[in-house]
Structure 1
Amino acid sequence: MPKITPSSLPVSALFGLVKPSGPTSMSVINDVKILCTRSKLFLTQAQLEKAEKDVKRRKKSRDIIKIGQGGTLDPLADGVLVVGIGRGTKKLSEFLDCTKEYYTTCLLGCETDSYDSQGASVRQAPWKHVTREQVESELEKFRGSIKQTPPIFSALKMDGRPLYEYARKGIPLPRAIEPREVTVHSLELVEWKGSEHTYRWPEKQFTDEEKQAMEKALENVEPDASMKNEPEVSEEASEQAPTAFVLKMTVSGGTYVRSIVHDLAHAVGSAGHVVTLTRSRQGRFALKKEADDEKTFDCLPWDLLERAAKDAGPKDEEGWTEWERELLKRIDVVEG
């Protein structure tokens, strides 16, 4: 445990938690904030008393604690979410550009507007012909310094308007989406699931009107853009789950994992989207660390925080509850 003494309390800090798939990063941070406003780790006794009174008055203690996160995860994604408390929030920018590690599952045969399973199906394409060897041979194109085009269904703005607005309203893009240079330090196929899985394409489908709007948005920059389905014709394939495989990658900040999956599926003559996404490392915070690795911090389990939110449980002889004791094993105290 770090050397935290009663005289050093309260502290500013960084720590990692394991975000579950489903909730937004902001909702997770809000839940953590409630717990932190009950802890002597982060607040003085006077602040704790004020926070308790605010709760009884149903008043939000917005300014009583400063909290933030070092890089949003989509609702679909799980894994490392770095949290900053107090002066720790000033260190969070370090984690936006740091190296990150991900595991992601690609499901072939269908691409979606969001490039993941939470979106709507835009186009179907053959997938039965794709082999493990073919995927592995294409990975080299995505390693090293690469140019990556962000998805049109993203919040990035062009001439003050979000890209997704062009796509949804059928407004032609004034110019091509500018590719960004990112670095893929490593990329490997770690599991070939084939059809042995339970993943399925999204039931939600793009309507003909939505496809036409997207084609209209792209007409100036991709004249041949088509949302036309090219479904698998094999009768055998129609009775099987489409092929899925798992990639592991280490990438620079700003990399779109969903775009790598989308572009890789195109490279093997198919379509594809992300069905699982786990951030396994962000900077010095990781889901798992080696026993002799003193520079890496592992992350606080989400189920522990969920239990504490309902009932923090008894305190030990030093006045710490279970979730606080576990946090003390993983906390990176920010001095000064």
Structure 2
Amino acid sequence: MPKAPSSLPVSALFGVIKPSGPTSMSLINDIKVLVGKSRLFVEAEKLKQQENSKNSKKRGKRKDKFAGPVKIGQGGTLDPLADGVLVVGIGKGTKKLQEFLDCVKEYKTTCILGCETDSYDSEGAQVRIAPWRHVTREKVEEALQQFRGEIMQAPPIFSALKMDGKPYYEYARSGIPLPRPIEKRKATVHSLEVFDWLGSDHGFRYPEKKFSAEQQQALQQTLQSVEQDAVVKDEPEEEAGEAPPTAFVLRMRVGGGTYVRSIVHDLGHALGSAAHVVTLQRSRQKNFTLEPAEERDRACVPWEVFEKALKEPGEPDEDGWLEWEREVMDKYEIVE
């Protein structure tokens, strides 16, 4: 059983195992509900004031839910599709969160060949399809060499980043020429390897939503304003078959600011095909990890622990701690 801190309340950092589906911010808001009522993180006097305020005046549900005296934040959001390590900072811990944006992170991502999407993952729409049967594991491993070390990456054309005040995606959807090429950013890929070769033995499929011929033409016009030979059109396999397109899992260690989805997208091009992400897991962020292997490593709290506490907090133990509080104390890092 984790030992309770000698002085309360505390500021801390801890990792949560985010599931695929919800947004990172929705999880943070839910955790805030629990943290704001816990003596582990809130001064006893403030907890008493909250209780007195509840008894003296009824509040609206939303106002009460998100009111609270504790600062909370996260050290690098994960897309709804992604799962894995989400670092949470409480109190003074929020001042340490910047360290987790710039640190080394580890990911596992499942890639499927033959289809490019606007979001570079399975949440988006099909932009184009391309041949994939010619791609072997050996070709993938050879192509990965160009993505290791210091590389230059262009953000996705359909991202919300802006050029001259207009989001990239507005140019792409409207066929408006880009004023200039998208500026590439330096990224560091410490390691990159094929972790598992799934072949056609999987249940992944392309997104049902597809770009129309008009949308493909608009995107091509935008890309050709900076890349004259850019072509956006479907190139289906000559041989039709029932087997699903090849999929494989990549494992990588990267520096801050690296676009994992861009690596997969660009790899598809390097292979003479197309590719997008169907699963994405952050397995490590600095010292918070799904699989602790070193003394400095810290395990993460499963989201189900907080989900259960939100529905039914349960009874405190003999020392007055709830189950979710014990789980956090077992895995957090106190910030003085």
Q: Indicate the residue corresponding to 2:59 in structure 1.
A: 57
Q: SS at 1:226's partner residue?
A: coil
In 1, Cα distance between equivalents of 2:263 and 2:187: 11
Q: How is 1:156-175 mapped onto 2 (pairs within 5 angstroms)? A: 156-175=161-180
Q: Deviation of residue 38 (structure 1)?
A: 1.7
Q: How is 1:18-57 mapped onto 2 (pairs within 5 angstroms)? A: 18-52=17-51, 53=53, 56-57=58-59
- Out of 210, 216, 220, the position equivalent to 2:221 is 216
In 2, Cα distance between equivalents of 1:239 and 1:35: 49
Q: Indicate the residue corresponding to 2:315 in structure 1.
A: 314
Q: Indicate the residue corresponding to 1:261 in structure 2.
A: 264
Q: Indicate the residue corresponding to 1:115 in structure 2.
A: 120
Q: Indicate the residue corresponding to 1:302 in structure 2.
A: 303
Tell me which amino acid in the other structure corresponds to 1:256: Y
After superposition, what is the alpha-carbon deviation per residue over 1:233-286, rounded to whole angstroms, capped at 9, x for unaligned? 113xx2110100000000000000001111111111110000000000001110
- Out of 255, 274, 277, the position equivalent to 1:274 is 277
Q: Deviation of residue 3 (structure 1)?
A: 6.0
5+ long unaligned stretches in structure 1: none
- Out of 146, 157, 173, the position equivalent to 2:151 is 146
In 2, Cα distance between equivalents of 1:44 and 1:208: 61
1:78 aligns with 2:83: yes
Q: SS at 1:308's partner residue?
A: helix
Aligned-pair identity (%): 63
Q: SS at 1:247's partner residue?
A: strand
Q: Deviation of residue 51 (structure 1)?
A: 3.9
Change (3 A) 1:211 1:49: farther
Change (3 A) 1:310 1:166: same
Q: Indicate the residue corresponding to 2:324 in structure 1.
A: 323
Q: Deviation of residue 157 (structure 1)?
A: 1.7
Q: Indicate the residue corresponding to 2:243 in structure 1.
A: 240
Change (3 A) 1:289 1:56: farther
Q: SS at 1:298's partner residue?
A: coil
Tell me which amino acid in the other structure corresponds to 2:167: P
- TM-score after normalising by structure 2: 0.94
Q: Deviation of residue 197 (structure 1)?
A: 0.3
5+ long unaligned stretches in structure 2: none
- Out of 89, 92, 95, the position equivalent to 1:90 is 95
Change (3 A) 1:56 1:298: farther
After superposition, what is the alpha-carbon deviation per residue over 1:27-59, rounded to whole angstroms, capped at 9, x for unaligned? 111111111112111111232234454595123
Q: Deviation of residue 63 (structure 1)?
A: 5.2
Q: Deviation of residue 77 (structure 1)?
A: 0.3
After superposition, what is the alpha-carbon deviation per residue over 1:51-103, rounded to whole angstroms, capped at 9, x for unaligned? 45459512345452111100010010000000011111111000111000000
Q: Indicate the residue corresponding to 2:130 in structure 1.
A: 125
Answer yes or no: is the 8 Å Cα contact 1:37–1:51 preserved in 2. Answer: no
1:198 aligns with 2:203: yes
> How many residue pairs are counted as aligned between the two chains?
329
Answer yes or no: is the 8 Å Cα contact 1:21–1:78 preserved in 2. Answer: yes
Q: SS at 1:266's partner residue?
A: helix
In 2, Cα distance between equivalents of 1:10 and 1:127: 56
In 2, Cα distance between equivalents of 1:259 and 1:278: 15
Q: SS at 2:87's partner residue?
A: strand
In 2, Cα distance between equivalents of 1:14 and 1:254: 21
Tell me which amino acid in the other structure corresponds to 1:260: I
